[in-house]
Structure 1
Amino acid sequence: MSGSVTVVVIGRNEGQRLVACLASLSAQDVAIIYVDSGSTDNSIEEARKVGATVVDLDTSVPFTAARARNAGVDALREAGLPDYIQFIDGDCSVESGWISHARLALDTHPEMGIVTGWRSEIYPTQSIYNDLCEFEWHRPAGDIEACGGDMMVRSTAFEQVGGFDPTVIAAEDDEFCVRVRAAGWRAHRLPQSMTRHDAAMTRFGQWWQRAVRSGHGFAQVGFLHPEYFVPERRRVWLFGAVLPLLFVLGLLFSGILTLAVLGAYILSYSRTVKGLTAQGLEPARARHHAVFLSLSKFPNFLGMMTFYWRRYKGRSMRIIEYK
């Protein structure tokens, strides 16, 4: 007998993206919990139209995706947890057949705590920023260290680790996966299309804010789990802080130092292009992506500093929104 599944959808002012998400789930005949984080559009009404149970988060407490997902599971506990919980972000549509494929994987492999699949962008050619996301989602199938927020989780694994950490404002899914694997469960990506995502990024400022948020995640999750995000943090410190400082010193004292810093950036860019090409990107697209991947270290550094400053001052870890 197949395990039971309930879907927890989280959202905030997703508009038609949420409508599409709910429609894709209704077509797969699963119970839906919708957790709303202070939307001012008609998100709650749309969720109720499809028969979803709605959880409206308390606006007096800072919103985080982790807190929203936990609230969805809390609502499920009233009637008893299902065997599996499918978490979905409200800007994603769920591919037909995904729920049954993921459920079968968890039915068949009792050692698996998390199952995910392939996410793709609905409009990858709308902007370079969407295209960056499209490539970001393309990851190999098999056992994994972590995944994004679209995942099916075994309820016993979720309960064992205490759910998501509601104080983590970015990369909360990575942080959750780290603890699930540490508890002895496998995390696995199926070679199966799972969701279609709408990043809806058309402006440089949106991409910049998203990169700031990523940097915050590198620092916060790295603080909680020092062994995680180590290469990412090193690259941000080197290319987002140390080399810029040396560049400024070079302008003041030594032209040779300035040229050396520029050479380091050019070398890094060339290696990034080569690596992206080796992963299957055509050369022109790889060069374009490499520009933003190189530039991202600066907003990443701002995000890391934001975390350290908030922690030093004892301030709440509030979300960093990009759309």
Structure 2
Amino acid sequence: MQINGIHHVTAIAGPARRNLDFYTGVLGLRLVKKTVNFDDPTTWHLYFGDAGGNPGTILTFFPWEHAAPGRLGIGETQETSFRVPAAAMGYWTHRLVSHGVVHDVPQKRFGETVLAFRDPDGMRLALVGVPGSEAEPAWEGGGIPAEVAIRGFHGVTLLLDKAEPTAAILAEVFGFAEAGREGGIVRMRAPGSPVGGIVDLRGAGGFLPARMGAGSVHHVAFRAADDAEQARMVALLTERFGLRVTEQRDRNYFRSVYFREPGGVLFEIATDDPGFAIDEPADSLGGTLKLPARYEARRSEIEAVLPALD
């Protein structure tokens, strides 16, 4: 059965070691893969997620040591949010304070408690208290008690000129449905997908366009069970919406196509298979540098120029 929702989110960061320390040390996520940017193998591509690196939990980064800060604007992801148990909000507020993390006062959105904060590069993040999520599995190796740990993505908020064209793509191609409106935000939900099942659309016509840089989300990837489901989605995008979609690209852990949705945000469709355990055991994910086959002959050269993570 096709499970809809977000597969992963990829962002741009500054120094790699700082990025690693924050997402594993402060947020307690698992480093599930250390590889390189397939288009620039002198740059890390770091994947963080849950114990198994499951779709709907994966936040990835291209860290460039001297990346200039991005500017939030139209055509970009405004905020990326994680799910935590509702009773854990006090724990997380205290944890952010104790680590000196810039954060807002908790507020209510769509009936849920939301704690917004920023990572060291200024990326806009949030923790959302979700009743019942305490019964779901949690990564227990990140130094965060399992009963309060992050349970994957809640969703993303997109900043757009107009919400409606993007809502149509989410509904007709990715199986989302409108779930409510509040404060100028249209909430789209993927039925039956608690993890990574929310996309909020904020229409802000006339706002400045986004400028990519450190702290910016590069793209949002949506799930396809396999190649056939991905091809069905591509056909809808091209035939129904007249959008240009790239050829399929093999990312080792999933196979991807990319397109710009009507609001300007870069979307990806990524297959659920084969997953992150294809090149290292599940119990040691993220332990060593993994390279695509075409770069293996250059391993020594690549290792020499990658910034140290230890």
Please indicate the TM-score interval, normalised by the length of the shorter structure.
under 0.3
Determine which structure has the larger helix proportion and give its number.
1
Determine which structure has the larger strand proportion and give its number.
2
- TM-score if structure 2 supplies the norm length? 0.27
Which structure has more relative contact order (CA 8 Å, sep 6+)? It is 2
Higher Cα Rg, which structure: 1
